[in-house]
């Protein structure tokens, strides 16, 4: 159980402390992963940035994950084959959802980055951070896309997730760090005392704080 996302991030950072010397890149999934990633990056003296993935909902049941998509030079789509077989959505539906989600991802990229360039992933130790994982569809899309970018090492870190999801994600990351794997697993929010929804302004503010602190430290050491 965690007090809030910030505390969860500090606890994750302790498990990740051995990676500090590798000068890792911390990529948090907005919105909920941002406060967690902020604390991880702060503790590891690491660069914080974002990776944006969006869930593809099923027709009539948007909360049921058909898969997920993450933008990039080549947008990555990960499909839940079991749900796909059960629902059998049309090709038109999938294409409409894909284009709609890519537009939303582009909007968020523009708002959150405020002109800042994407960081280089190739050859680096990359730590992907979220505030919790349920089915893993969204984070799998992010991991697949990042793997194609050629990181030296790809680590997934999250405070809480079901054990079977962790086992699945271990196929996509070089290492998965998960602090709690409760069974049965009902909802991420049940493992936090405070789990408020974040808006774009809060995400932007947290990122700006991290980037400003890092720039100030770099200037002081030059």
CATH fold of 5-51+112-221 = Rossmann fold (3.40.50)
Q: How far apart are CA 105 and CA 72, in angstroms?
A: 10
Q: Are 66 and 96 in contact (CB under 8 A)?
A: no
Residue 71, pLDDT score: 77
Query: Residue 60: its pLDDT value, please?
Result: 84
At 154, list the tokens: 């790809």
The pLDDT value recorded for residue 121 is 95
Digit-coded pLDDT (tens) for 130-147: 999 998 989 998 999 999
pLDDT under 70: residue ranges of the chain: 72-74
CA distance 123 to 180: 30
Give the pLDDT score at 168. 94
Q: Which residue has the tokens 């919790």?
A: 132
Structure tokens at 32: 């909920």
- What is the reported pLDDT for 206? 97
The Cα angle at residue 80 between residues 113 and 121, in degrees rounded to 5: 35
Residues 146/126, Cβ–Cβ less than 8 Å: yes
pLDDT at res. 34: 98
**Residue 76: strand pairing partners:** 70
Instruction: Please give the pLDDT value at position 83.
Output: 85
- Cis peptide leading into residue 184 (ω within 30°): yes
């Amino acid at each position: 159980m965690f007090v809030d996302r910030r505390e969860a991030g500090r606890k994750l950072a302790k498990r990740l402390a051995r990676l500090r010397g590798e000068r890792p890149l911390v990529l948090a999934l907005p919105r909920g992963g941002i406060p967690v990633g902020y604390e991880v990056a702060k503790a590891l003296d690491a660069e914080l940035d974002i990776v944006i993935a969006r869930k593809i909902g099923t027709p009539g049941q948007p909360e049921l994950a058909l898969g997920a998509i993450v933008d990039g030079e080549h947008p990555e789509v990960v499909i839940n084959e079991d749900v796909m077989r059960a629902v059998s959505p049309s090709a038109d539906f999938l294409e409409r959802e894909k284009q709609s989600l890519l537009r939303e991802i582009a909007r968020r990229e523009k708002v959150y980055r405020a002109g800042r360039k994407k960081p280089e992933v190739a050859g680096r130790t990359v730590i992907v951070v979220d505030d919790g994982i349920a089915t893993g569809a969204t984070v799998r899309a992010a991991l697949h896309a990042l793997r194609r970018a050629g990181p030296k090492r790809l680590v997934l870190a999250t405070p809480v997730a079901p054990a079977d999801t962790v086992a699945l994600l271990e196929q996509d990351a070089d290492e998965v760090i998960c602090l709690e794997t409760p069974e049965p697993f009902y909802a991420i929010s049940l493992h936090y005392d405070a789990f408020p929804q974040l808006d774009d302004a809060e995400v932007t503010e947290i990122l700006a704080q991290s980037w400003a602190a890092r720039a100030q430290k770099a200037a002081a050491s030059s």
